[in-house]
Amino acid sequence: MSAYTPQELLIAVVARLLEGCGHIAVGASSPIPGSAALLVRDLSGGATRVSVLGSTRNNFFTNGGTELFDCAGQGRIDVFFLGGGQIDGQANINLVGAGGDYPQQKVRWPGSFGSAFLYFVVPKVVLFREEHTRRVFVPQVDFISAPGVSEPGVYRPGGPQALVTPLCLFAFDKERARFRLDSLHPGVTLEQVRDNTGFDFDVPDAIPTTPVPEPERLDLLRARIRAEIAEIYPNFAAIAFAEAA
């Protein structure tokens, strides 16, 4: 048995991206980003504030998305997470649908909600998907819910910083509007990433291996964080963490 679960590895990867942030906001259906945010808050000794939508214990908003958008527009959220049914090599995301022209698409997803606004105003947006396939990571999205880059002169303090998947970590180069492979998760090859990615990306001469979760972080995850995230995601908490030693 591995010393850590796949979910614990991804939580650790996301947590490293969040270190030093003041206010981390996590949207709905995001148990791995939520767990990572809570982990960083505990490691920071309370210096990091976490708002998790859907939580009664870790949600400081009384009106959900409305206050979240207000905080983001005022520059009071440092990090947010976005995903998409499709993500392309320019970090455009599609939350609307695929297969055909809008609105007659064969596959429909929940919709863009506030993704375009948050993508523009939150300084660090971390893209996250638990499926790494060519179905998700496409050459060009069928519909742009939120653009990864903007034309010169467009006011945009925010944007994509990284993309976390079960295979690897990508960093996003805003100047070149391209992803760069930052690290491969343990046991994953470059060929696997290329075979499962529909867009081109930059590759360094030497590709680092993603660090595994540290024992002290695993201890926190399997005790305090598991209990906190179970408030919102009980099924996730039941299967995502190994038993404490």
Nearest by Cα to 167 from 209, 203, 118: 209
Q: Report domain extents, the chain.
A: 6-240
pTM: 0.95
Which sign does the torsion angle of CA 28, 169, 111, 239 carry?
Answer: negative
pLDDT, tens only, 42-86: 999 989 999 998 898 888 777 767 889 999 999 999 999 999 999
Q: Would you tell me which CATH number, out of the four given (3.30.70.360, 3.40.1080.10, 1.10.3720.10, 3.30.379.10), belongs to the domain 6-240?
A: 3.40.1080.10
Q: pLDDT tens digits, residue range 179-234? A: 999 999 999 999 999 999 999 999 999 999 999 999 999 999 999 999 999 999 99
- 3-class DSSP assignment, residue 127: strand
Return d(Cα 83, Cα 162) in angstroms, integer: 11
Contacts 24+ apart (CB under 8 A), 67-71: 68/25, 68/27, 68/114, 69/114, 69/117, 69/118, 71/23, 71/25
**What is the β-pairing status of strands 137-138 and 86-88?**
parallel
